[in-house]
């Protein structure tokens, strides 16, 4: 499924390069935009697990996302992206088999700088920025005693487009790639007689579609 989503996203982004000039849109300078998207968060995960080896499996999550954008001029803007996701976690292919590590909630506020290619109702953009991810609501599952996830700081790349329906409302398609790493400390004293550390790359792809309002 992840590959099909990625291929579709690449195809849509390819349309950006085929966009033709249209009537000039209204000036964005000093204006706010608000977007509400439905997003698919698809981790591109891997892990280096001490002592028992193996890898990690992190579930895909579908959730709402809200973002706020401020335009400095027609082209340049800053976007704050807000949302939270719940993911099931498993250690797989370890020396002791598959381990259910329950679930965890991620709160990953992301701030990106964006450049918008103005020229009509179809407005593609690219962006890059920073991400801070907090882990909360940890359920360690039925096997281990406790899990602690370190707060993570990472980078984000972004691309997408707005399609103006009128001077206020627009549709939005957005793709983001987060480069996100955390250290998970798993207290498995009861099951394994040890505490196990894992260096985990989450690195999710985030695909979103929604509606926006310009003020």
CA–CA dist 92, 147 (Å, integer): 16
Confidence of residue 206 (pLDDT cuts 50, 70, 90): very high
CA–CA dist 213, 165 (Å, integer): 10
| Amino acid 4: pLDDT | 44
| Amino acid 213: pLDDT | 96
CB 43 within 8 A of CB 79: no
Q: At 70, which CATH number?
A: 2.40.160.20
pTM above 0.75, yes or no: yes
- Look up the domain containing 12 and give its range: 2-20+28-214
Please indicate whether residue 159 or residue 2 has the higher confidence score (pLDDT).
159
**Total domains present in the chain:** 1
pLDDT at 6 > cutoff 90: no
Angstrom distances, CA of residue 93 to CA of 53, 56, 58, 143: 8, 8, 14, 16
Confidence of residue 119 (pLDDT cuts 50, 70, 90): confident
| Amino acid 5: pLDDT | 45
10 Å CB burial of residue 30 (0-12, 13-18, 19+) is: exposed
Mean of pLDDT over the chain: 89
DSSP H helix total and E strand total for the chain: 2, 15
| Amino acid 47: pLDDT | 97
């Amino acid at each position: 499924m992840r590959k099909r989503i990625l291929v579709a996203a690449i195809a849509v982004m390819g349309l950006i390069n085929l966009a033709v000039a249209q009537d000039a849109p209204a000036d964005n300078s000093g204006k706010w935009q608000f977007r509400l998207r439905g997003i698919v968060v698809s981790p591109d995960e891997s892990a280096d697990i001490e002592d028992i080896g193996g890898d990690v499996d992190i579930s895909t999550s579908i959730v709402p996302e809200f973002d706020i954008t401020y335009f400095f001029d027609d082209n340049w803007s800053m976007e704050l992206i807000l949302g939270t996701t719940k993911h099931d976690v498993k250690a797989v292919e370890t020396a002791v088999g598959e381990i259910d590590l329950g679930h965890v909630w991620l709160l990953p506020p992301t701030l990106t700088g964006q450049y918008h290619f103005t020229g009509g109702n179809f407005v593609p953009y690219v962006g890059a920025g920073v991400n801070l991810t907090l882990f909360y609501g940890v359920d360690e599952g039925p096997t281990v005693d406790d899990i602690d996830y370190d707060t993570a700081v990472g980078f984000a790349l972004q691309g997408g487009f707005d399609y103006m329906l009128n001077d206020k409302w627009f549709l939005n398609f957005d793709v983001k790639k987060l480069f996100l790493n955390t250290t998970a400390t798993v207290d498995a004293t009861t099951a394994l007689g040890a505490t196990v550390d894992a260096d985990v790359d989450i690195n999710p792809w985030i695909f979103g579609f929604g509606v926006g309002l310009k003020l």
